[in-house]
Each structure stands twice: as C-alpha cells, then as structure tokens.
C-alpha cells in the first residue's frame, strides 16, 4: 500500500521545506525504504525556465529535460536519486493540462471548475510515483494562506480523506522567531499558521519549527497544546552549519520513528548510522581556498545553488573549506577584485548584461595562470576570449550578443533557429559526449564516454575550431563528433570550459570529477 508524506509551510517562505522533506526522506532511506519526492509549485508559469533567477533562484534540470525548482537539486543530493518530469509540477502546467482536456472534449460537456477538475488532476499527480517507491514525499510550495496555493491544499485535504488515515502523514514547517527586545522565542506565528492550515481541513501530524535558539520543554508543550499535535511531534530545526547535518538532528528527536509508527510501516533493514559519521568526517577542514564566481546574479546565492553545493562538496572531500564569493560581472573594478582570489568560475546565464566583465575575468585567469572553470555560458565566454586575444579575431562574439559579428565563434544551434516560444525549448537534459584521450577532461573523468545535463540554445561554431586550436584552445570532447562539449588550454594549471552543467551531478561524498579536479588544482596552484 502506497504511503504519502505531505510537507507544507507557514509564516514565511524559504524556511526549508525542501531540506526538511529531503532530511525525512534520507532517514527513511536509512531504514531501507525506497523514497521519492514530488514538488508542487503554485505559480502560473508552466515551469521556472523563463523566470529571472532573482525571482526564483536557479533552474534545476532533470535528466529527461524538465526545467524545475531548485528543490529538486536538494532531493537528488540528499537521496542520491535522479528526478524526472514526474517530480515537478506547477499550477501553470496543471491548468494547461486541464484546459487541453476540455478543448478535446474529455469532460463530456461538464462545466470545468477548480473543484473537482483541477484538484483531481493535482491528486492524480500526487500518486504519480506510487508504484516506484514505498513512500512519496510531496512538498507544496509557498505558504499556507496563499491564494494561488489553495487548490493544492484542498487537493491534499481531499487526498487525505480518500486514503486510509495510516497512509497519509502531514508535516508543517513553520517559524518560531526570536524577539530581541523581549529576549524570548514567540510561538504565536506558529499557532496562527497551524490554525490557518486547520481551517482548510488539514491537521498536521508533525510540526517542524525553524528557530535560531533551542526550544525548551515549555515552548514545545505550548505549541503542542495550541496546535493539537503530540509534544514529541514538535521537532526543533535549529540553524545548522551544514544542511547535511539536519537528518541526524531529526533522528535524535525520533522524527523517523514517529513517522514510521503513524504510517504503520516496518524498516526493511537495521537503521544505518554510518551516513551521519561519513558526513561529519568530511566536515573537518585543514585548508581553505577562495573562489570567485563571476556572474549576473551575484546578489542571490540561490541563483547558483548547485554550483555552491558542488564546490563545497568537492572541497570537503579534500579536507578543504571552499570560501565562495559571488562577484558582479558588471563591476568596473572586477579585475582588481580578482587579485584576492585563488580561482575563477564563470557560470551559465542568458543575455548580454555582464558579458564583457566575464570575458575580462577569463583573460585575468588565463594570463595569471589562475585555475578557471567555465560552465555553459562560461565556456562560451572562454571561446570568445581566446578568439579575441589569442587567435586575434577582432571583436569575435556570440550571435546571442551581436547578430552581425564578423567572427561568430558562438552561434545558435540549428535545431533552435525556427523556435518561436522560449519555454522548455532549449537543448535540455542528458546528452552523451566522447572525450579525447590525453586531455585534461580525460584525466578528470577517467573515461572517454560521459553523459551530462544541458540547458542551452547556442554552441561553439565548428567553423572556427581549426583556427582556435592553432591558437591553443583544444576541443577535448564532442557530442556525436560534431558539437563541441569541452574546451581547454594547455600550459595552464587548470583551464577548462564545458557546455553542459556538471553541478547537477554532484552528491555528498560523491563529488563531481570536474569540481574535484578544480579544487585540487586550486590547492596545488596555491
């Protein structure tokens, strides 16, 4: 019988519903249970692919090419699973599905309404992965009380009613703020949030309380009394130096045992605590490296969430603390700022803003023998930089930024030329590449055949490969022997650009080889 855990949130956004859900999922995995996670976002966008990262954070890409919320990256890293289109849902996608059904006449002339048609589609998706796991953890984005989230909450209420009580567990993540003037934690926001949830018809079985200070027994008792949950089901979620310590914090409060008890399930193996030990063992740092990430969205760390995680994971495996700083590509004194860092990373992005700054940063890294990693647009900028400064192709550019450039070293993919709509139309998801032997890429991957996730419209123009290789830029990997996937420079401590997004493949204790090689090169270069 399928089991379901619903994760909702209240008071404010960004409390960590995804991390809470993933931490619960990790604990259940350590009991030998097969877990999957599904995200539901209430916004009307069909997916976040066309949204500005300042609005939404990074766009995570699944292996089958779905553009999704960054929480799917959290799910993959915690649970070491691959997500797909079935793991991500939005109000826009759900409404579009229902409207398409109505246009086809699937509803036999009925008046199509939020209830039951929208809620029925949501419930269908709640159960989409039930045959592939023991437990589905379902995260509903936003906060309780949001207008756009009401159909999802209503669907969850119906779903709970239609399933046996022992098959559905409700977790509500809320905030217990510390009021400095009063020198005390306040439970009232939690009480109001839970009351709002109960008005909708959902009574939480567990409350996870985000807090800066530990909750004493009297506070837990108060939350229990006014929110109608067992006192042992009030779980403290203190700020943590690492998100990967949170599963153990929940374990120490018996969160997993309480869920297993309520859902009437049995562990499939003896609980494995070694994951906690391994996570803590890679948190001891003997060295430090300072890495500059030069991007367009430096004001929002979540815009580069997977890159941040990948750098930290790789560094931790080398007993190193990665101090990651985000620099604005448009800053006039960018090159001067770079003097303070041990390495440069230029991430992906779209549009012309900040491009010249990124190119200048790459010039600095190349000329000063500073380890450099370029990802997607970062790889394309490295091609432009070498074209201008080593191959002497004056004002070489990408047709994305200058349609009339004399030297279009980056051009639009042939498959993209006639596309009218921007949403979900790029080259997306996993593609295979073949790496040349005796290259830096081969030394990092230790294989000639790789498969990585993509998200791009433009490519390195094959017409310029011969010219650029004569200038010193080697194309070390191709997709189907045609599309350049990796470029690198010889006679440099570490200079590599990749068309794909390796950051989506990082896992705790399984650092991606590109990032691990990057950090190792930074340490050696210091």
Which residues fall in the annotated binding site for L-glutamine? 54, 349, 377-380, 400, 457
CB contact burial 200-232 (16+ within 10 A = b; e otherwise): bebebbbbbbbbeeebeeebbebbbeebebeee
Q: Which of 31, 454, 479, 501 is catalytic?
A: 501
Give the residue from 173, 233, 148 showing the smallest Cα distance to 15.
173
**SS3 of the chain: helix, strand, coil, percent, to 5:** 40, 25, 35
Q: Which residues are annotated as a binding site for Mg(2+)?
A: 71, 139
Q: Is residue 501 annotated as part of the catalytic site, yes or no?
A: yes
Query: In terms of C-beta density within 10 A (0-12 exposed, 13-18 middle, 19 or more buried), how is residue 274 classed?
Result: exposed
Q: Which residues are annotated as a binding site for CTP?
A: 13, 146-148, 186-191, 222
Which two three-digit tokens encode residue 239?
A: 């700020």
Q: Which of 209, 227, 233, 376 is catalytic?
A: 376
What is residue 35's three-state secondary structure? strand
- Angle (CA) 217-223-225 rounded to 5° is 100
Which two three-digit tokens encode residue 153?
A: 């909450």
CB contact burial 394-410 (16+ within 10 A = b; e otherwise): eebbbebbeeebebbbb
Residues ≥6 apart with Cβ < 8 Å to 303:
53, 54, 57, 58, 295, 297
Q: Is residue 503 annotated as part of the catalytic site, yes or no?
A: yes
Q: Which residues are annotated as a binding site for UTP?
A: 13, 186-191, 222
Gap between the Cα atoms of 91 and 166, Å rounded: 28
Q: Where are the alpha helices (DSSP H) in 264-411?
A: 274-281, 305-317, 334-338, 355-367, 377-389
- Contact (Cβ atoms closer than 8 angstroms) between residue 74 and residue 174: no
Q: Is residue 376 annotated as part of the catalytic site, yes or no?
A: yes
Gap between the Cα atoms of 467 and 112, Å rounded: 60
C-beta neighbour count of 254 within 10 angstroms: 14
Torsion, Cα of 138, 144, 145, 147 (10° steps): -30
Give 431-434's long-range contacts (Cβ < 8 A, gap of 24+). 431/479, 431/500, 432/479, 432/480, 433/477, 433/478, 433/479, 433/485, 433/486, 433/500, 434/477, 434/478, 434/479, 434/481
Enumerate the active-site residues. 376, 501, 503
């Amino acid at each position: 019988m399928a089991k379901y855990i619903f994760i909702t949130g209240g008071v404010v956004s960004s409390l960590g519903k995804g991390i809470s859900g993933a931490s619960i999922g990790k604990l259940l995995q350590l009991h030998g249970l097969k877990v999957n996670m599904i995200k539901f976002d209430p916004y009307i966008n069909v997916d976040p692919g066309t949204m500005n990262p300042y609005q939404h954070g990074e766009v995570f890409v699944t292996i089958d090419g779905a553009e999704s919320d960054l929480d799917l990256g959290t799910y993959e890293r915690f649970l070491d699973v691959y997500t797909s289109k079935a793991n991500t849902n939005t109000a826009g996608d759900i409404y579009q599905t229902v409207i398409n059904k109505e246009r086809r006449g699937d509803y036999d002339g009925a008046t199509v309404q939020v209830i039951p048609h929208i809620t029925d589609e949501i419930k269908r998706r709640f159960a989409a992965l039930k045959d592939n796991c023991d437990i589905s953890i379902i995260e509903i984005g936003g906060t309780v009380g949001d207008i756009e989230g009401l159909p999802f909450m209503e669907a969850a209420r119906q779903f709970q009613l239609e399933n046996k009580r022992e098959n559905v567990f409700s977790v509500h993540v809320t905030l217990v703020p510390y009021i400095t003037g009063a020198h005390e934690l306040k439970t009232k926001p939690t009480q109001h949030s839970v009351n709002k949830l109960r008005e909708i018809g959902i009574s939480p079985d567990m409350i996870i309380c985000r807090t800066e200070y530990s909750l004493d027994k009297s506070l837990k008792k108060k939350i229990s009394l006014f929110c109608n949950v067992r006192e042992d089901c009030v779980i403290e979620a203190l700020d943590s130096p690492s998100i990967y310590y949170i599963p153990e914090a929940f374990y120490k409060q018996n969160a997993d045992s309480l869920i297993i008890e309520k859902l009437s399930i049995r562990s499939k193996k003896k609980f494995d605590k070694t994951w906690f030990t391994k996570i803590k063992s890679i948190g001891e740092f003997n060295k430090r490296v300072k890495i500059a990430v030069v991007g367009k969205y430096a004001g929002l760390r979540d815009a580069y969430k997977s890159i941040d995680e990948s750098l930290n994971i790789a560094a931790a495996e080398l007993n190193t603390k990665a101090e990651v700083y985000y620099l604005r590509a448009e800053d006039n004194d960018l090159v001067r700022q770079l003097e303070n860092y041990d390495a440069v990373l230029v991430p992906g992005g779209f549009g012309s803003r900040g491009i010249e700054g990124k190119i200048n940063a790459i010039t600095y890294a190349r000329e000063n023998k500073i380890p450099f990693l370029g990802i997607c647009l970062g790889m394309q900028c490295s091609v432009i930089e070498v074209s201008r400064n080593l191959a002497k192709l004056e004002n070489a550019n990408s047709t994305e930024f200058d349609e009339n450039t004399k030297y279009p070293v980056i051009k639009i993919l042939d498959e993209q030329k006639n596309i009218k709509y921007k949403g979900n139309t790029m080259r997306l998801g996993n593609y295979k590449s073949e790496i040349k032997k005796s290259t830096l890429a081969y030394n990092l991957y230790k294989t000639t055949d790789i498969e990585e996730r993509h998200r791009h419209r433009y490519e390195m123009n094959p017409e310029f490969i011969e010219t650029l290789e004569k200038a010193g830029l080697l194309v070390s990997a191709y997709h189907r022997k045609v599309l350049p996937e990796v470029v690198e420079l010889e006679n440099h401590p570490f200079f590599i650009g990749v068309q794909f997004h390796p950051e989506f493949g990082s896992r705790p204790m399984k650092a991606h080889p590109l990032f691990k090689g990057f950090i190792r090169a930074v340490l050696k270069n210091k």
